[in-house]
Amino acid sequence: MTTPARPAAPALRRVVRWNIAAVAALHVAALALFLGGHLLGTAGLAMIAFAYSRGLLHALDADHLAMIDGSTRKLLGEQRNPAGVGLAFSLGHSTVVLAAGVAVVLGAAWVREAIDPDTQLATVLGSIGAGVSAAYLLAVAAANTPLLVAAVRGADAVGHTHALAPTGWWGRLLMTPLSRVRHAGHVYAFGLLFGLGFDTASTISLLMLTASASLAGVPPVALLCLPLAFAAAMTLGDSINAHVMLRVYTAAETPSRRRLNIALLIVSITSAVLVAGATLTGLVGAWTGIAVPEFDTTWFGWGLAALAALGALWLGWLRFLARRAGPHPPLKR
């Protein structure tokens, strides 16, 4: 079995530069509005710090991590460049947050309905976001399962060929949403749809904070620094997560790293299915009114982030040991 081919260095560097530029632009825009609105007092600093922290925590949500991880592995399996998956997804999600923030500043009544779980608008938007989220995660799990089977059998798991694709009606059904996802930029639309639910506690907290600040007399333009700070932090977190997973999945081939690759594939598929199942369970309960078990995926998201960090540290340690040992003959195939 071989590890997924790493994207060409020039293309990877170019995408990384775009990632850094986009994240930096969001930070600069938020800072400019913050300073321009003269919010340097204790209350202003507390508000933007809270919004920024909410964005970082939102990037650690289980659905973000599962989606970015699964999409990265899926594109690598098709020998496509997944660099920028985290940025594209986060920008799509940020579009909803920024639009909602602007609507709050303008006093649009629909935002209050969108964040009130008892309204029809909130139910419809939440159903769209949850449905797309669950369908996409299940599709990613279906796309990555044949790669895991091939990897465990010791076969070449680089090419996501027709022979490795899911077969049967269920495979075709689950793979349909992914048929047009050919590069990282296509993930933007899914990030946009993911964010339609307005049901994430961090997003609601930010909108409520923005509304409260508006009532306190903060200049409308300055208020936009809050959703921008949220988006900047979320984009930073999602981009780092995507880059870490890309580095882990494209590590040079050694027995230890191949075992790590298989382990991460198992975690990726399992997490996608579990998060999708929790999402669908909540959706069924919302539409039927039946009491269903509630699954708190907060700690699950933190666990996924911890596993990604441990994987990166493990690879760094292996690389350090390899450099100390000096050159060695290539592995036999």
Label residue 118 exposed, middle or buried (CB < 10 Å: 0-12, 13-18, 19+). exposed
Confidence class for position 27, pLDDT limits 50, 70, 90:
very high
**Do 191 and 87 contact (CB within 8 A), yes or no?**
no
Run of H or E residues at 146: helix 120-152
| The token pair that represents 107 in the structure block | 């006093």
The pLDDT tens digits of the residues spanning 290-312 come to 777 777 666 666 677 777 677 66
Torsion angle defined by CA atoms of residues 289, 290, 291 and 297, in that order, rounded to the nearest 10 degrees: -80
Instruction: Give residue-wise pLDDT tens across range 209-251.
Output: 787 777 777 788 888 888 899 999 999 999 988 888 787 777 6
Angle (CA) 9 12 18, round 5°: 140
Alpha-carbon span 264 to 47, nearest angstrom: 37
pLDDT score at 255: 58
Please indicate whether residue 312 or residue 22 has the higher confidence score (pLDDT). 22
**CA distance linking residue 304 with residue 244, whole number of Å:** 12
Rounded CA-CA distance 125/194 in Å is 10
**Range name among 3-7, 60-64, 197-201, 277-281 with the lowest pLDDT average:** 3-7
Q: Mind listing the pLDDT tens digit for each residue in 137-155?
A: 888 888 778 777 777 776 5
Q: How many CB atoms lie within 10 A of CB 211?
A: 18
Higher-scoring residue by pLDDT: 8, 261: 261
pTM (predicted TM-score): 0.77
pLDDT higher at 331 or 201: 201
Instruction: Output the DSSP codes for 171-211.
Output: HHHHHGGGTT--SGGGHHHHHHHHGGG---HHHHHHHHHHH
**Helix-helix angle 225-249:62-77, to 10 degrees:** 40
pLDDT at 236: 93
Task: Give the model's pLDDT for residue 91.
Answer: 92
- 249-283, pLDDT tens digit by residue? 776 455 556 676 777 778 878 888 888 888 888 88
- Given a cut of 60, whether residue 285 has pLDDT beyond it is yes
* Cα 97 from Cα 111, distance rounded (Å): 11
pLDDT at 303: 72
User: d(Cα 52, Cα 273) in Å, to the nearest integer?
Assistant: 30
d(CA 114, CA 128): 13
